[in-house]
Amino acid sequence: MTSVYCLVVCSCPDEETADVLAEGLVEGRLVACVNVVSGVRSVYRWRGALEKSAECLLLAKTLSSRLPELQAWLRARHPYELPEIIAIPIQSGLPEYLEWVGTCVTPP
């Protein structure tokens, strides 16, 4: 990943799980901020069957350098067998906001 900052997307089975994971990521200084988006409906194929689920989505802002630790942290605590953890490079943004992200996240 060539960008200094990234947005990490992670789906969760419910609001309680999403809140616990979001708070842990922020408290651990792995991310600066997590938006918890409720009311997400997911349609996907799992083990050969079409599945439909109500989920919450985490949108976490962090430093790209923290991504390996963030993935390991989420993987260890997430209830899904195979959690969705996708990082999207942030190519541009309000400079002051991105600076704030950098000050909130502890470097590796």
Q: Where are the domains of the chain?
A: 5-104
Q: How far apart are CA 28 and CA 106, in angstroms?
A: 8
Contact 101, 32 (CB under 8 A): yes
| Whole-prediction pTM | 0.94
- Write down the pLDDT at residue 79: 98
pLDDT at 108: 75
Cβ atoms 6, 90 nearer than 8 A: yes
Domain made up of 5-104: CATH architecture: 2-Layer Sandwich (3.30)
- The per-residue pLDDT for 107 is 82
Average pLDDT, 10 consecutive residues per value, the chain (108 residues) = 89 98 98 98 96 97 97 98 97 96 91
Q: What is the pLDDT of residue 39?
A: 96
